């Protein structure tokens, strides 16, 4: 570390150069800016770096040694004294630099994102024996060898020459071509390259839409209730008004609430979080209602291919004849949530504006990651992965469905034909937040459902359990243990 960069000397000031070095090094040490196990530069090196005499640095080091900031190790030099830092709070450089009036940041934003509800997921979920967590994937399902091969080829000399140049907001042409020819046809969607935008996951796609289309007063955005928490949050942070759209066993109810909305945000393949699938007739009715009211539909088509009881229904976008559906797809639930790559499909003029807005934020998702994914798709590895995931999840779906019926018959299970989770409603009087705490103590992760509701007093007896991260052979035991905890409550 270049310690001299932490020191700014004022020649001819009231304090001597030695005193300035002592004070600034002490400040850096107390605030953790100097690594513990790394020796400070020798007096010769530091004096040359600061442009001062060597004796000045020697005396400064000696002062810090006497005051306990440094320790000396034979033949190794000076090091930060670790005992000094235990329980020590960071200190200002000089009492004179203490701000007389600290900035009150809270008055500088319209609303605080940290105040918004958010799902909490244990970072150590892989250590739980029964991780019924949603949105995570067992590490043994990740295609390590194929992804490693594509990653290696994406950093070949020729590939680097391809993606390393400034793209000015444009995406990897090969990835766009693969999304167009491999991913979208699975959902019945036909699109031209100019209709496709690569995103940093679905979340960025929703955020771009919120900023471009919803961020003005008078706009009304219909959202599913219960629904996706961070979509609710994005609408809350925008200038738009949020309209709660009720859900039944067929998804969003096509009723009077839709007539007042300028935008309708839906998850028809597997409603989030209830997992119910919108049937074909309801999809047609929703499109007709949107057309009658000149509304735009934002379709989040996550897990659209995972239907274990029948053939997957076509995406709303595949039935869109007048360009009023903005389609969002992602690889988070198939490849990995950590990859953070997704895509949008919309009318050319919408994509142009969203691309320009994205350019102001991040230019584009990392080009090397785009190219790695493009190779992964082009070589057919994604098709192979989908087949593997489908058979694995279908087995886990069946095991969990049987276990729920056997051990938790008192729970109401939302009708589900696929996806990677179940939505459950416990009897009145059961607080699933407490249930989740008690289950976690027994190595079981479940997710309380209160945060998904747009209400000041949401029901506290719903919860979600996922099966994408837990082996099939552990599901029955985990559900049986959960039933015992529930019975005790």
C-alpha 113/C-alpha 235 separation (Å) is 12
Torsion sign over Cα 330, 332, 338, 339: negative
Position 30 scores a pLDDT of: 86
Q: Identify the residue with better confidence: 76 or 179.
A: 179
Give the residue extent of every domain in the chain: 3-97, 120-135+384-488, 143-379
CATH topology of domain 120-135+384-488: 3.90.1150
d(CA 346, CA 326): 5
* Model confidence at 243: pLDDT above 60: yes
Is the pLDDT score of 92 beyond 80? no
Q: Which of 332, 389, 385, 328 is nearest to 354 (CA)?
A: 328
pLDDT of residue 309: 87
324 pLDDT above the threshold of 80: yes
Q: Is the pLDDT of residue 136 over 80?
A: yes
Yes or no: domain 3-97 corresponds to CATH 1.10.10.10: yes
pLDDT value at position 380? 94
Beta strands in 202-283 (DSSP E): 220-225, 241-248, 251-252, 263-266
User: Rounded CA gap, 12 and 200, in Å?
Assistant: 52
> 49-62 b/e with 16+ CB inside 10 Å = b?
ebebeeebbbbbbb
| H or E segment and range at residue 441 | helix 432-441
pLDDT at site 35: 87
**Rounded Cα gap, residues 401 and 417, in angstroms:** 11
Pairing of β 421-425 and β 412-413 = antiparallel
| Torsion angles phi and psi, residue 160, rounded to 5 | -60, -40
* Higher pLDDT pick, 292 / 85: 292
Note the pLDDT tens digit of each residue in 185-225.
999 999 999 999 999 999 999 999 999 999 999 999 999 99
- Could you tell me the CA-to-CA distances from 330 to 13, 24, 335, 354, 364 in Å, in that order? 60, 49, 9, 17, 16
Residue 304 to residue 353: CA distance in whole angstroms: 27
Contact by Cβ (8 Å): 475, 446: no
Taking only the tens place, the pLDDT of each residue in 13-44 is 788 999 999 999 999 988 888 888 889 999 99
Kindly list the distances between the CA atom of residue 401 and the CA atoms of 161, 413, 466, in Å, as whole numbers in the listed order.
Answer: 50, 9, 11
Q: In the CATH hierarchy, which fold is given to the domain comprising 143-379?
A: 3.40.640
Helix axes 17-30, 54-66, angle to 10 degrees: 50
Largest CA distance in the chain: 86
| pLDDT value at 95 more than 70 | no
Full-model pTM = 0.85
Over range 85-110, report the average pLDDT.
68
Mean pLDDT value across residues 229-245? 95
Q: Which residue in 229, 216, 269, 273 sits closest to 247, CA to CA?
A: 273
pLDDT at 87 over 70: no
Lowest mean pLDDT among 175-179, 363-367, 375-379: 363-367
């Amino acid at each position: 570390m270049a310690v001299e960069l932490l020191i700014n000397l004022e020649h001819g000031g009231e304090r001597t150069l030695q005193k300035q070095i002592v004070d600034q090094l002490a400040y850096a040490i107390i605030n953790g800016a100097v690594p513990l196990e790394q020796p400070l530069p020798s007096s010769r090196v530091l004096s040359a770096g600061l442009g001062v005499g060597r004796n000045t640095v020697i005396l400064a080091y000696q002062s810090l040694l006497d005051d306990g900031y440094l320790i000396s190790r034979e033949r190794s030099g000076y090091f930060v004294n670790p005992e000094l830092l235990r329980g020590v709070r960071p200190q200002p450089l000089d009492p004179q630099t203490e701000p007389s009036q600290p900035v009150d940041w809270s008055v500088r934003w319209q609303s605080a994102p940290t105040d918004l509800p958010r799902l909490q997921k244990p970072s150590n979920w892989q250590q739980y024996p029964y991780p019924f967590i949603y949105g995570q994937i067992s590490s043994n399902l990740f295609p390590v060898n194929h992804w490693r091969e594509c990653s290696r080829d994406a950093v070949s000399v020729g590939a680097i020459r391809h993606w390393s140049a400034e793209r000015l907001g444009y995406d990897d042409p090969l990835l766009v071509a693969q999304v167009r020819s491999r991913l979208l046809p699975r959902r019945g969607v036909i699109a031209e390259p100019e209709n496709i935008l690569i995103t940093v996951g679905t979340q960025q796609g929703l955020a771009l839409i919120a900023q471009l289309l919803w961020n003005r007063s008078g706009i009304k955005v219909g959202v599913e209730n219960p629904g996706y928490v961070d979509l609710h949050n994005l609408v809350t942070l925008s200038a738009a008004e949020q309209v709660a759209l009720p859900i039944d066993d067929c998804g969003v109810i096509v009723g009077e609430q839709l007539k007042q909305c300028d935008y309708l945000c839906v998850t028809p393949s597997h409603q989030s979080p209830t997992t119910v699938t919108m049937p074909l007739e309801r999809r047609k009715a929703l499109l007709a209602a949107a057309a009658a009211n000149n509304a735009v539909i934002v379709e989040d088509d996550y897990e659209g291919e995972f239907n274990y009881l029948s053939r997957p229904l076509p995406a709303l976008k595949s039935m869109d004849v007048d360009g009023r559906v903005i389609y969002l797809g992602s690889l988070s639930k198939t490849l990995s949530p950590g990859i953070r790559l997704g895509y949008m499909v919309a009318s050319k003029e919408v994509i142009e504006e969203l691309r320009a807005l994205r350019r102001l934020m991040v230019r584009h998702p990392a080009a090397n990651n785009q190219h790695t994914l493009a190779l992964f798709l082009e070589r057919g590895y994604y098709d192979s992965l989908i087949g593997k995931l489908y058979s694995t999840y279908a087995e886990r779906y069946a095991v969990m469905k049987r276990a729920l019926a056997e051990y938790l018959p008192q729970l109401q299970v939302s009708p589900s034909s696929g996806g990677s989770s179940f939505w459950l409603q416990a009897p009145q009087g059961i607080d699933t937040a407490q249930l989740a705490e008690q289950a976690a103590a027994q190595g079981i992760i479940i997710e309380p459902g209160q945060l998904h509701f747009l209400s000041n007093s949401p029901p506290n007896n719903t919860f979600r359990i996922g099966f994408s991260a837990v082996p099939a052979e552990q599901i029955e035991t985990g559900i049986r243990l959960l039933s015992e905890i529930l019975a005790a409550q």
